[in-house]
Each structure stands twice: as C-alpha cells, then as structure tokens.
Structure 1
C-alpha cells in the first residue's frame, strides 16, 4: 500500500477514501454525518463531514468505525486501510529545531513534498527553495562579524534535510522544474555563489528522476502565461499516490501551491496550473539544451 509517510499525507489519503466511500453509497455529507452524530445540528454535521473530506479535521477511531458502517465498509481492505490512515496523524513535536523555521502555511507543502509521487515547479525571478545550493541559501542572510546566525544555520539544515527527503530518499519522486531565465540572472550573493548554484542545478539534472528546463528570454513571447520576460507565475504541482484498493478509487490526488508574497497558498483547482505547466514546459529548452544553457550562464558569472 502507498500509505503516506507524513500526517498531512495520511489525512489527505483518508479524506479521499472517505469521500469515495460516501459517494459510492450515494449519500450526502449531511445524511452520512447525521447517521454518526444524530444529536448534532444539521450545520454542525455538514461542517464535520466537509472538514473531514478536505483533510482539515480528524476523526476519532470509534466515530470512524460508525462512519464506515454507514458506508458498508467495516470489513476487508477499506476498513483496514481507513484504520491505518487514521493513525500517526499527530504533528506534536514535528516542527521543532531547524524545522521550526517553517510557517504554518508552508508545512503542508513540506510534508507533501516528502510524500509526493511527482513534483513539478514553475518559477520566475527566484529559483525554488528546494533547488537552492548551500551557498545560495547562506547568501540570503547578511554576514555577521561573529559568524552565521542561528536562523541561517537552521535554514541551511532545513534545506539540506528537505533535499534529502525528496531527491535522495528511497523511491524518490519524479521532480521537474521549469525556470525562467530571470531566475538564473537574479544575483544572490556574488558571482561565486551564482556559479555554485548553477553547478548545483547541473548536478541535480544528471539524476534520472530530476528534469530541469529553462525558458530563455527569447522564447514564448505573446503566449498565455509566457512573456518576453519569461514565466509570469510561480507554483508547485504535487501528485500524491493513493493506496491501491479494489474498486473505483482514483490512483492519485493532485494539489497546487501558489506563491503570494511570502505565503504559500493552497489551491484545490489544479486545471489552470496544469495548463500553465504545459505552456511553460513546451516553451522551455529541452533538458539537454537546458544543460548547455546553464553552462553558458555559469560562464557569465566567471
């Protein structure tokens, strides 16, 4: 079973399973919820099921059993899977130490990266944090006379751990990134930092599960989502596998995170961003052409 590693991933998988089981029985959220919580108000019942099916709330094991009974799924693989997904959901203590640098809005993204079957980034102006070299990360911080700050060290540790959990874990996801040339030309630190960052992108692109493409300034002018200055939006598309069970449960879930200022915003409708991804990757250089382009950019920082 492709059970998620993180509490966030498990809650999303459980939410999808319970939504599927309810729809299979052709029940509304109110009908299903009222059968489990008959004394609750109609609004409260609706809210409970809506939050449960959007992974915004959990459910007690005894209530889960009653809900599965309503769905005629208290035996066999559905019961086994639902029970498994409803364990290990506590976030207590998981965001301490260097992981404390992540804001609440970022934590769902970090967890989903660790669980993802595939990750696709589109970026303008800035290289995605997941692809930062250590020197590029350190260049974000003003140099102190007494040495690196704790915030700098925590950010470096968090970045390295994030890369380990995505690029170098067992059975890593397929990671594809489309960068606007502007992301490569925006200097962070100095020329030595930029050379090291370009080299890091080249090293990542050599891994069979990693694809890096660049949209040069000369490509895509006039196309929706692409201008003469490159990509107009930046976002991450993540695909989460669903555990295999008999029946019509879909094989995966798709999510998108968009950047608004410094916040990561959760979006449910991915179709717009799927279209933007297709346009950006189509306008970009091929992976091989991108590697040649990256080498030329690296020489510009020599």
Structure 2
C-alpha cells in the first residue's frame, strides 16, 4: 500500500467507511487486524487514509466484516479507482484544504442540493457577488486571497456545465434575494444570473418567500451532496471557520428531511422565477 502525505477527501471517506463497517461488526482494531492477517497499526493507517487501499482489499475487508450490502461494497470499490487528482489541487498551497475537499466531494456527487437563507449558493454566484461576499469576511481576507477564492469558486461552478452534469436543486429564502452585496447593480446582475441558470434543464431554483407560513430548521445553510449510494452522502455546513462535513447516517437523514420540508415550503419554479424577476426590477 502506497503512502499518501495529504489524502484526498475521497480517500479519507473510504477509510472512514471501512472503520464504520468494522465498528458495526463489533470488532476492535486488533481483532479485525488478526482476521485480515495484518497489524493493528496497518489497519489503523488504512482507516485514517494514510495508505491507499486496493479494490481487492476493500472486498476482503467487507467480507471479513460480514457486510452484505453489495451496492455499498461496489461503491467503496469504485472509490479505489482513478487516483488522479483534480483541478482543485492547484490551490493546495493557497487555500484551506477543506475548501478543496468540498470541490472533490461535489465533483463525484450524483446530485447536489443547497438550502440558503441569507446568501446565494456558491455555485450560483457571479464573480462580483462572490468578491463582495469575501470582502466582508471575518477575519479579513487579503486582496490576493480574495482573488484566489473567487477564481476557485468560479472553477467549482463548472460542475453545472460539464457533460453529464448532475441534477442541482437550490432552495433560497427571499431574504437572500433581497441582500444587496456589492450594491444594487451587482445585486441586479446576480438575480438575472439566477434567472438564466434556472432555464438549464438540470438546475432547479426555488424560493421560500417571506409569506411562507413555516420555515423548518434554524436557517443554517446546508449543502447536500448525494453519493452513489445513500450511505456515501455528505452534508456540508457553512461555519465562520470554514466548511464542516457531516457523514453520520442519523444526521444525514435529518438533513434530507430538512431539505424536503424546505422544498415543500418553497414556491414552484415558475412562481420563484417571477419573484426573482420582480425583486430585480425593484433594484
């Protein structure tokens, strides 16, 4: 097994899932290592992604742990495949690693869903809107880093335009549409950009209006990336110190329910478009 100084998000998740399988089997690291014919140290390194894992190793490990979920096993095997690093690696020494992890996770997602109450989702932001947001960051970000973050965000948006783009759904509260980051002209262009994107067949943009009689959740932004099987889904939460990733099934099920309830509270697509257009006309 080859060592990796900086494991990718995909490798890290693979190791974490193998650890979950071991724990579900009720095995300690030492017990599992004995069954697999390896050392506890090597097994621990595999689970924390210090070493790469082969497809055969994943299958043997899953069998040893009595995992019968074939779809999950094959999904884990697939994660051992292409080891080339993506475009985000050019930012490895420039931006926080969690931001790079986000780009990698969404690159491999099978559907993307965002729920925002104050900000426009990152994949839908214009360059000027994104720059205005970063200029208000606390702690303050230097001008060069702002430009790095803006260019990184724009490159992430390619996931919406690539061949075979996956479904993307954004649930945006009306409050976010009325924020004037960067001034009226920037805000108007941003709203027009949303209208343009909403015409893409794989993009759904729906608005939760002020008139909605319910708004589930605490208003926290949630980005939900669906994996090849539900067990490999990821929820990402925005925090002032950076993105936080959630992969525990109990929490994932809560965020899936939250997004569905927000969708039920939102206007239908054409009504949402009409509201966005109306707000843009007021600027």
Length-normalised TM-score, structure 2:
0.75
Output aligned runs, 1:152-191, within 5 Å: 152-164=146-158, 166-191=159-184
Please give the secondary structure, in 1, of the residue aligned with 2:147.
helix
Question: In structure 2, what is the equivalent of residue 8 of structure 1?
Answer: 9
Check conservation: 1:136, 1:188, Cα contact below 8 A: yes
SS at match of 1:169: coil
One of 130, 134, 140 as aligned partner of 1:137: 130
CA displacement at 1:11 relative to structure 2? 5.1
1:169-219 Cα shifts (integer Å, max 9, x gaps): 121111101011111111111111011100111111111111001111111
Count residues with an aligned counterpart. Answer: 262
Match of 1:254 in 2: 233
Aligned to 1:200: 193
Note if contact 1:8-1:89 (Cα within 8 Å) is conserved in structure 2.
no
Which residues of structure 2 form unaligned runs of 5+?
1-6, 67-71, 136-141
Q: 1:109 aligns with which of 102, 106, 113?
A: 102
Residue 236 of structure 2 aligns to a residue in which SS?
A: strand
Larger displacement relative to structure 2 (270-279 or 84-93): 84-93
Is there any run of 5+ residues in structure 1 with no aligned partner, and where?
1-5, 143-147, 226-230, 243-250
* Residue aligning to 2:51: 59
Q: Structure 1 residue 108: deviation in Å?
A: 2.0
Distance 1:186 1:194 in 2: 7
Q: What displacement does 1:265 show?
A: 1.2
1:238 aligns with 2:232: no
What is the rounded CA distance, in whole Å, between the counterparts of 2:256 and 2:95 in structure 1?
A: 26
| TM-score of the two chains, using structure 1 as the length reference | 0.71
Deviation digits for residues 54-109 of structure 1 (CA, Å, limit 9, x no counterpart): xx424355897498279379xxxx99987774355576995334x65532232222
Residues 27-36 or 177-186, more deviating: 27-36
Is the contact made by 1:215 and 1:284 (CA closer than 8 Å) also made in structure 2?
Answer: yes
Larger radius of gyration, structure 1 or 2?
1
Aligned twin of 1:145? none
**Residue 129 and residue 79 in structure 1: after superposition, are their counterparts in 2 closer, same or farther (change >3 A)?**
closer
For residue 121 of structure 1, the aligned residue among 94, 97, 114 is: 114
SS of 1:182 mapped into structure 2: helix
Residue 286 of structure 1 pairs with residue 268 of structure 2: yes
Instruction: Tell me how far apart the structure 1 counterparts of residues 209 and 188 of structure 2 sit (CA, whole Å).
Output: 18
Give the corresponding residue for 1:247.
none
Judging changes above 3 Å, is the alpha-carbon distance between structure 1 residues 296 and 16 closer, same or farther for their aligned structure 2 residues?
same
- Structure holding more helix per residue: 2
Distance 1:211 1:293 in 2: 15
C-alpha displacement at 1:134, in angstroms?
1.6
SS in 2 for 1:86: coil
Does the CA contact (< 8 Å) of 1:116 and 1:241 recur in 2?
yes
1:135–1:196 CA contact under 8 A, matched in 2 = no
